[in-house]
């Protein structure tokens, strides 16, 4: 099932790529069912907070009418930045599955680790899925940008 949900997140990332957005996608799963899905829309919405993770969290909370996402898992194609990692923790997401790491801005261990330490009063278990496609789609995007 984990691969299935990461593939759903990848479908979102591909939608972002078509829109010339940095291709990152996320889904939130509760009781084995996808309850929200989103991709990066920063340029399209002119909103610096419109990362896949933030949009997926806002949509899940709207669906559940609750800001607490206890018992929910997030699958995201790229390691979250500090904004998103903190939002994931504050939304009380129970588990985070990450497709690939972000050596430039990743806040789940690559540059800093906001979720693994208890300094901010929350910890979220992280599983690294080393999903090759998550990484390839980003490389494609940046290659396209340079052309």
Residues classed as catalytic: 53
* Residues 3 to 22 in contact with a second copy, rule: CB under 8 A: none
Measured distance CA(75)–CA(127) in Å, rounded: 9
Among 31, 32, 104, 147, the residue binding a second copy under the rule CB under 8 A is 104
Ligand-binding site membership of 72 (annotated): no
* Residues 26 to 65 in contact with a second copy, rule: CB under 8 A: 42-43, 45-49, 54, 57-58, 61-62, 64-65
Q: How far is CA 64 from CA 21, 25, 69, 72, 87, in A?
A: 28, 20, 8, 11, 17
Ligand-binding site membership of 84 (annotated): yes
Ligand-binding site membership of 108 (annotated): no
Among 114, 92, 110, 93, which Cα is nearest to 101's?
A: 110
- The stretch near a second copy (CB under 8 A) out of 4-12, 32-40, 102-110, 131-139 is 102-110
């Amino acid at each position: 099932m984990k691969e299935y949900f990461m593939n759903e997140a990848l479908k979102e990332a591909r939608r972002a790529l078509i829109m010339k957005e940095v291709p990152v996608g996320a889904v939130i799963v509760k009781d084995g069912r996808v309850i929200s899905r989103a991709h990066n829309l920063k340029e399209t919405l002119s909103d610096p907070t419109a990362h896949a993770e933030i949009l997926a969290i806002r949509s899940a909370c709207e669906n559940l009418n609750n800001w607490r996402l206890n018992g929910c898992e997030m699958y995201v194609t790229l390691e979250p930045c500090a904004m998103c990692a903190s939002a994931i923790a504050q939304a009380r997401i129970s588990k985070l599955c990450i497709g690939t790491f972000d050596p430039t801005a990743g806040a789940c261990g690559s540059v800093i680790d906001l979720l693994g330490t208890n300094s901010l009063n929350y910890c979220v278990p992280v599983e690294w899925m080393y999903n090759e496609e998550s990484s390839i789609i980003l490389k494609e995007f940046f290659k396209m940008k340079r052309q």
